[in-house]
């Protein structure tokens, strides 16, 4: 195959969810690899279709760590399909999927439209765009749960470098989520084309997408019930009070530690981050 699937699985919850995704790919896309960056590689040793690589969370929150997954996958394959670890594949994947060079996302919109009700966030998006000389009116927001990247004369390498810079700037200013903004900005700066394809050539399950479909009466909720129930069991395990407290304290410590490291690293380019 000249393409692969890829995902990020940090923590037991996401490792378990990624295991379900790996089984789906083995069933519905036989012969296709799933590349996983994870904090516990041995959890995937029994999966013949998984290439697991060790990764420890780098960003303040792990949203932008997806760029490391893309970097690994695109270094090994001509194209890679990124899926969130909590997604499922529900039917046979076509054997001859093809994409144009650049990014093809399942959904998205203009970056300005996406942020029209997010004034605080948009202020910093405008600032980093100005610093990088990116025209916002030509920039797209990419919904990051499902998108494909195909090599494009090494512009994908530039894209990943700009994603890092933009991610650092947004996190430095307290914007941790919405990595689709960074993806769109980085692609615009690198000259990497961004396209949207909502044909659903891969039949997938994504909880928040299914909830919208159910609300609109587009699907029968009973058809997806088993997926919702299994995901809920994995995402919300029953922990003791002591374990919950320990997890919360550990999470807060890790957050402050990574934020401190970011502030220190930003001193290397004081004008870019602090002015």
Domain ranges of the chain: 3-205
pLDDT per residue, tens digit, the chain (275 aa), is: 689 999 999 999 999 999 999 999 999 999 999 999 999 999 999 999 999 999 999 999 999 999 999 999 999 999 999 999 999 999 999 888 889 999 999 999 999 999 999 999 999 999 999 999 999 998 999 999 999 999 999 999 999 999 999 999 999 999 999 999 999 999 999 999 999 998 888 999 999 999 998 988 888 888 889 999 999 999 998 889 999 999 999 999 999 999 999 999 999 999 999 98
pLDDT at 219: 84
pTM over 0.75: yes
Give the per-residue pLDDT at 2: 84
Of 192, 197, 231, 190, residue with least CA distance to 211: 231
Q: What is the pLDDT of residue 260?
A: 96
Among 207, 205, 103, 216, smallest CA distance to 162 is for 103
What is the structure's pLDDT at 1? 60
Of 138, 212, 133, 124, the residue nearest 171 (C-alpha): 124
CA distance 8 to 87: 12
Give the pLDDT score at 95.
80
Looking at the DSSP assignment, which residues form a beta bridge with residue 204? 89
Other C-beta atoms lying within 10 Å of the C-beta of residue 98: 12
The full length of the chain comes to: 275
User: What span, in angstroms and rounded, lies between the C-alpha atoms of 151 and 249?
Assistant: 41
Q: Return the CATH class of domain 3-205.
A: alpha beta
pLDDT reported for residue 238:
86
User: Does residue 49 contact residue 14 with C-beta atoms inside 8 Å?
Assistant: no
**pLDDT score recorded for residue 221:** 84
* Two structure tokens written together for 243: 């374990």
Task: Report pLDDT for 60.
Answer: 96
């Amino acid at each position: 195959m000249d393409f692969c699937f890829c995902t990020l699985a940090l923590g037991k919850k996401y490792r378990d969810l990624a295991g379900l995704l790996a089984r789906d790919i083995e069933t519905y896309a036989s012969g296709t690899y799933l590349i996983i960056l994870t904090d516990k590689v041995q959890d995937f040793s029994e999966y013949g279709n998984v290439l697991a690589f060790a990764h420890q969370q780098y960003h303040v929150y792990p949203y932008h760590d997806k760029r490391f997954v893309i970097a690994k996958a695109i270094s090994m394959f001509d194209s890679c399909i990124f899926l969130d670890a909590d997604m499922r594949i529900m039917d046979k994947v076509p054997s001859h999927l093809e994409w144009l060079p650049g990014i093809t996302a399942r959904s998205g919109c203009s970056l300005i439209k996406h942020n029209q009700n997010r004034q605080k966030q948009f202020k910093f998006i405008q600032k980093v765009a100005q610093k990088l000389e990116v025209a916002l009116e030509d920039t797209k927001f990419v919904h990051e749960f499902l998108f494909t990247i195909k090599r494009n004369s090494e512009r994908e390498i530039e894209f990943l470098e700009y994603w890092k810079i933009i991610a650092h700037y947004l996190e430095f200013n307290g914007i941790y989520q919405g990595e689709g903004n960074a993806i769109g900005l980085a692609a615009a700066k690198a000259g990497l084309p961004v396209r949207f394809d909502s044909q659903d050539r891969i039949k997938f399950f994504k909880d928040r997408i299914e909830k919208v479909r159910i609300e609109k009466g587009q699907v029968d909720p009973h058809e997806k019930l088993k997926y919702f129930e299994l995901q809920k069991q994995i995402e919300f395990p029953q922990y003791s009070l002591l374990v919950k407290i320990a997890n919360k304290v550990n999470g807060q410590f890790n957050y402050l530690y990574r934020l401190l490291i970011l502030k220190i690293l930003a001193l290397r380019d004081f004008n870019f981050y602090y002015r």
